[in-house]
């Protein structure tokens, strides 16, 4: 998968006069922005739903849906998009309405281009800063071990150092790679992901390094490999331990010498890519067994990020569950207030062998089955309910579970300040410390 990072800034021009659309598009693309142009206001909601658009530049007077009505519709869609209105004959009423419904500015035609470009430049830099901020914030956590990992990510993202991300399936390895790329200087350049387990050995090498015409029977013409296509950007090699020894050797050369050759070629090509890799296998064991090159492993482990399984960061479970609930509530358009307390208990107690992916799927399923109100046991997949029946519930374990949740909630509300949390819970600060220790809450 390739996606462009956050350097690009996309501008949609909506005007029934083609001439205006065409000339603005030309100016914007010369400035390095990505323009879209539409003469049909009815097309805009669809365009917004399917493309990442940063700014809409919109005429007020258009046949069919007028600019102000369209502005109202756009605001209802709740997308992070800015709107600037333009009009040949602005009336006070139009300007007031436009501002009221959230337009950033109002330009009179003919538009003063240098003023408009200045404003766009400012919006672009704000959006870049916002993208950078949302980078890390996509990884939800309140676990202290994970917070340390976030600090590492922030520190190493701007460097070109190779990274290896390890952890069980579903712990967020790919999300971490996405975040590192998004926070890096390479974010405006391609980010190419390759799942080494999904591509047959025979094809993987040519997929990575490309080939020259005639390199093998089917090589009708020259083809660029992923390292060439990612020029200036990053490459993510998922399930890296699946590489054959031969390909491992070639990858090592890319890491060490920053060079490679296309299959069947003699010319040496330079690779300007940052390499990230991931695996859920115990890579050290594979190294000692000799199936994974030790020199490659050491080279990749300049930065090693190990993501703990969810069962070792139980304090993240309810936070993640409620984030996923918010996500799916919105996409399935449901009014759901939260989880019932017995569901919370099941979620905390479960072992989550599929880690965060399993939790995310579990919440999605519950949202689909819940018609409103609270998510309760009957909305959970059967295996979670059955597991619950087998659990021996004691008064003490239930009490611990509730105490744990109350303490975590209080700490969150008090920004982690224990004195305040203790006051809120109406217990002594020392009692809070003791309980936190007993219940395994980091602080």
Length of the chain: 443
Q: Compute CA 105 distance to the chain's CA centroid, rounded to the nearest angstrom.
A: 31
Smallest distance from Mg ion to CB 218, Å: 30
Give the β-pairing of 268-270 and 259-261. Answer: antiparallel
Do 205 and 263 meet the contact criterion of CB atoms below 8 Å apart?
Answer: yes
Residue 212 or 358: which CB sits closer to ligand ATP? 358
Residues facing residue 85 across a β-bridge: 58, 106
Residue facing Mg ion at closest CB distance: 174
The smaller minimum CB distance to Mg ion, of residues 16 and 174, is found at 174
The Cα–Cα gap between 128 and 10 comes to 12
Cβ proximity to ligand ATP: between 264 and 309 the closer is 309
Any residues with CB less than 8 A from the CB of 414 and at least 6 apart, and which? 420, 421, 424
139 binds, among ligand ATP, Mg ion, none (CB under 5 to 8 A by kind): ligand ATP
Could you tell which of ligand ATP, Mg ion, none binds residue 274, using a CB distance below 5 to 8 A set by kind? Answer: none
With CB under 5 A as the contact rule, which of the stretches 169-177, 288-296, 370-378, 397-405 interacts with Mg ion?
A: 169-177
Residues 59-98 touching Mg ion, rule: CB under 5 A, are none
Q: Which does 162 bind (CB under 5 to 8 A by kind): ligand ATP, Mg ion, none?
A: none
**Ranges within 172-191 binding Mg ion (CB under 5 A):** 174
Which among Mg ion, ligand ATP, none contacts residue 170 (Cβ within 5 to 8 A by kind)? ligand ATP
Q: Which is nearer to ligand ATP, 135 or 210 (CB)?
A: 135
Q: Are 180 and 139 in contact (CB under 8 A)?
A: no
In whole angstroms, how large is the CA radius of gyration of the chain?
Answer: 27
The smaller minimum CB distance to Mg ion, of residues 12 and 149, is found at 149
Please, which residue, 346 or 356, has the CB nearer to ligand ATP?
A: 356
Instruction: Provide the token pair at 18.
Output: 């083609």
> Minimum distance from CB of 404 to ligand ATP (Å)?
20
Which residue matches tokens 């501002």?
99
Question: Which strand ranges, in their side-by-side order, compose the sheet holding 105-108?
Answer: 34-38, 10-14, 55-59, 82-87, 105-108
Tell me whether residue 141 or residue 159 sits nearer to ligand ATP (CB atom): 141
* Joined tokens for residue 233: 């950007």
Nearest approach, Cβ of 307 to ligand ATP (angstroms)? 7
Q: Which of Mg ion, ligand ATP, none is residue 20 near (CB under 5 to 8 Å by kind)? A: none
**Span from 31-39, 123-131, 148-156, 170-178 in contact with Mg ion (CB under 5 A):** 170-178
Residue 172 binds what, of ligand ATP, Mg ion, none (CB under 5 to 8 Å, by partner type)? Answer: ligand ATP
Residue 364 vs 400, nearer CB to ligand ATP = 364
Residue located via tokens 């658009």: 53
Q: Which stretch binds Mg ion (CB under 5 A): 166-174, 182-190, 342-350, 374-382?
A: 166-174
Residues of the shown chain interacting with ligand ATP in the complex, contacts defined by CB under 6 A: 139-141, 167, 169-175, 280, 320, 356-357, 360
C-alpha angle with apex 258: 252 to 261, nearest 5 degrees? Answer: 80
- Judged by beta carbon distances under 5 to 8 A according to partner kind, the member of Mg ion, ligand ATP, none in contact with residue 356 is ligand ATP
DSSP-assigned letter for residue 303: E
b/e 233-260 (16+ beta carbons within 10 angstroms → b): bbbbbbbbbbbeeebbebbbebbeeeeb
With 0-12 / 13-18 / 19 or more C-beta atoms within 10 angstroms meaning exposed / middle / buried, residue 217 is exposed
Is 55 or 139 the residue whose CB approaches ligand ATP more closely? 139
Nearest distance from residue 132's CB to Mg ion, in Å? 23
Residues 6+ apart with CB under 8 A from 131: 6, 182, 187
Distance CA 416, CA 432 (A): 12
When CB distances to ligand ATP are compared, the closest residue is: 172
What does the binding site for Mg ion look like in residue numbers (CB under 5 A)? 174
């Amino acid at each position: 998968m390739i996606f462009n990072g956050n350097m690009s800034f996309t501008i949609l021009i909506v005007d029934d006069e083609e001439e205006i659309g065409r000339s603005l598009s030309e100016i914007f693309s010369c400035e390095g922005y990505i323009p879209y142009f539409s003469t049909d206001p009815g097309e805009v909601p669809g365009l917004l739903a399917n493309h990442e658009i940063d700014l809409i530049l919109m005429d007020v007077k258009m046949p069919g849906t007028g600019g102000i009505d369209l502005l109202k519709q756009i605001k209802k869609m709740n997308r992070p998009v800015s709107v600037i209105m333009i009009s040949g004959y602005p009336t006070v009423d139009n300007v007031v309405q436009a501002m009221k419904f959230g337009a950033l500015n109002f330009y009179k035609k003919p538009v003063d281009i240098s003023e408009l470009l200045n404003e766009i430049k400012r919006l672009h830099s704000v959006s870049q800063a916002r993208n950078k901020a949302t980078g890390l914030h996509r990884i939800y956590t309140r676990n202290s071990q994970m917070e340390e990992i976030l600090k590492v990510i922030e520190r190493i993202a701007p460097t070109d150092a190779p990274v290896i991300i390890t952890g069980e399936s579903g712990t967020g390895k790919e999300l971490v790679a996405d975040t590192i790329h998004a926070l890096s200087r390479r974010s405006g350049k391609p980010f190419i992901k390759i799942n080494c387990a999904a591509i047959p050995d025979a094809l993987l090498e040519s997929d990575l390094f490309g080939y020259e015409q005639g390199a093998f029977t089917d090589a009708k013409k020259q083809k660029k490999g992923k390292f060439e296509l990612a020029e200036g950007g990053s490459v993510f090699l998922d399930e890296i331990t699946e590489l054959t020894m031969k390909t491992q050797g070639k990858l090592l050369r890319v890491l060490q010498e920053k060079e490679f050759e296309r299959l069947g070629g003699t010319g040496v090509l330079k690779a300007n890519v940052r390499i990230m890799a991931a695996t859920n296998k115990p890579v050290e064991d594979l190294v000692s067994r000799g199936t994974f090159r030790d020199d490659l492993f050491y080279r990749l482990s300049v930065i090693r990020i190990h993501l703990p399984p969810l069962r070792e960061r139980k304090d993240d479970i309810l936070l993640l569950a409620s984030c996923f609930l918010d996500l799916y509530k919105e996409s399935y358009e449901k009014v759901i207030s939260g989880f019932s307390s017995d569901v919370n208990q099941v979620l905390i107690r479960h072992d989550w062998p599929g880690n965060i992916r399993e939790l995310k799927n579990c919440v999605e399923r519950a949202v689909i089955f819940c018609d409103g109100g609270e998510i309760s046991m009957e909305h959970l997949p059967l295996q979670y309910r059955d597991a619950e029946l087998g659990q021996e519930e004691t008064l003490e374990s239930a009490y611990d579970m509730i105490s744990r949740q109350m303490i975590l909630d209080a700490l969150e509300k008090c920004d982690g300040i224990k004195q305040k949390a203790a006051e809120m819970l109406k217990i002594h600060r020392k009692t809070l410390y003791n309980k936190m220790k007993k219940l395994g809450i980091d602080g």
